A and B are shown apart, each in its own frame.
Chain A
Amino acid sequence: MNWLLPYPLLSAALLVLWLLLNQSVSAGHVILGSVLALLAAWAMAALRPEKARIRRPGAALRLAGLVLIDILRSNLAVGRIIVRSREPGVNAGFLTIPLDLRDRQGLAVLAIIITSTPGTIWVNYDAAKGTLLLHVLDLVDETVWVRTIKDRYERRLMEIFE
């Protein structure tokens, strides 16, 4: 089974992508999509990427919901700063957070979460020290931001990936 499906999640995602693009679940498209997904997974195997292991799919879904709500809320917060504030960006600043998360896939997901949430952006990760440099638009209280990143996202990502 392993030689046939080296990356089952990747193949499944590619098949779903193919069916969505063609907007059809007819037998022909399922077969064609499956063949493409298999070939792409074999090509990927030649690159030998690290295999992502999602230990808790339920926790991943909960995290996705949480992130969607957070993105909505920070959209409103950043919009308010841009429109209302007399001197927008006056509270902006850098913030260093020590991370316990070491898994590469987990870090990649954390980077996407932090960067796509308006108001925070991932600047640099120091793998040797395990520290993350962030830029925050509304940096009033550093401890609040550290607690948000560590308790809301990092803890859940460690549950999912480690």
Chain B
Amino acid sequence: MNAAGNLPAWAALLTALCVLVGAAVALIGSLGLLRLGSFYARVHAPTLGTTLGMASVLAGSALYFSVLEARPVVHEILIAAFVTLTTPVTLMLLVRAALYRDRTEGSGEVPGGTWRRPRR
């Protein structure tokens, strides 16, 4: 399956650019996981990959298949919609779990840390 040879040069270059930009943005996001100090700060890093990184790779995919098949291929937009709708659920679940843990431990770093053990 080597259909990529039929792709005109301009489309190949643009596709490569889109995919590389997306990969670079996702890489910077992953680097953030390594460099950022606290858990709450680290949660911000992967959102780079799920927004601009994802959009750029999907734009490359849509362009590649649209040019190759000579018709608009836009079902990548579904991936964008579902990733955008589901990432916040995961991230909020992680952050709220961390917040709950820190509050029960009485950590001074999080606001509202006066959680009391429910009476039996």
Give the residues from 17 to 43 in chain B that come closer than 8 angstroms, CB to CB, to chain A: 25, 28-29, 31-32, 35-38, 40-43
Q: Does A9 contact B (CB under 8 A)?
A: no
Give the contacting residue for B25; candidates A79, A90, A122; CB below 8 A. Answer: A79
Q: Could you give, for residues 79-90 of chain A, a 1 whenever the CB lies within 8 Å of some chain B CB and a 0 otherwise?
A: 100110001111
Q: Let me know if A115 and B40 touch, CB within 8 A.
A: no
Q: Does A143 contact B (CB under 8 A)?
A: no
Q: Let me know if B28 and A121 touch, CB within 8 A.
A: no
**Max chain B C-beta neighbours (<10 A), residue from A71, A83, A122, A123:** A123
CB-nearest residue of chain B to A22: B75
Q: Does A75 contact B (CB under 8 A)?
A: yes
Q: Does A35 contact B (CB under 8 A)?
A: no
Residues of A within 8 A of B35 (CB): 82, 88-89
Q: Let me know if B44 and A118 touch, CB within 8 A.
A: yes
Residues of B within 8 A of A105 (CB): none
Question: Once the chains are docked, how many angstroms separate the CA of A21 from the CA of B32?
Answer: 34
Interface residues of B (CB under 8 A from A): 25, 28-29, 31-32, 35-38, 40-45, 47-48, 50-52, 73-75, 77-78, 84-85, 87-88, 91-92, 95-96, 99, 110-112
Q: Could you give, for residues 111-125 of chain A, a 1 whenever the CB lies within 8 Å of some chain B CB and a 0 otherwise?
A: 110011111111110
CB-nearest residue of chain A to B78: A20
Question: Number of A residues whose C-beta is below 8 Å from B?
Answer: 33
Shortest distance in angstroms between B30's beta carbon and chain A's nearest beta carbon?
10
Q: Does A40 contact B (CB under 8 A)?
A: no
Query: Other CB < 8 Å A-B pairs besides A20-B77, A82-B35, 10 of them?
Result: A71-B51, A82-B31, A82-B36, A88-B32, A89-B41, A94-B40, A94-B110, A121-B47, A135-B40, A137-B44
A-B contact count (CB 8 A): 106
CB-nearest residue of chain A to B74: A20
Q: Let me know if A23 and B43 touch, CB within 8 A.
A: no
Q: Let me know if B47 and A116 touch, CB within 8 A.
A: yes
Given A72-B52, A92-B38, does the pair A78, B87 have CB atoms closer than 8 Å? no
CB-nearest residue of chain B to A119: B44
Residues of B within 8 A of A17 (CB): 78
Question: Once the chains are docked, how many angstroms separate the CA of A79 from the CA of B46?
Answer: 11
Q: List 6 A-B contacts (CB under 8 A).
A: A23-B73, A75-B51, A82-B36, A88-B35, A89-B35, A117-B47
Question: Once the chains are docked, how many angstroms separate the CA of A88 from the CA of B89?
Answer: 25
Interface residues of A (CB under 8 A from B): 17, 20-21, 23, 71-72, 75, 78-79, 82-83, 87-90, 92, 94, 96, 111-112, 115-124, 133, 135, 137
Give the contacting residue for A96; candidates B45, B50, B92, B111; CB below 8 A. Answer: B111
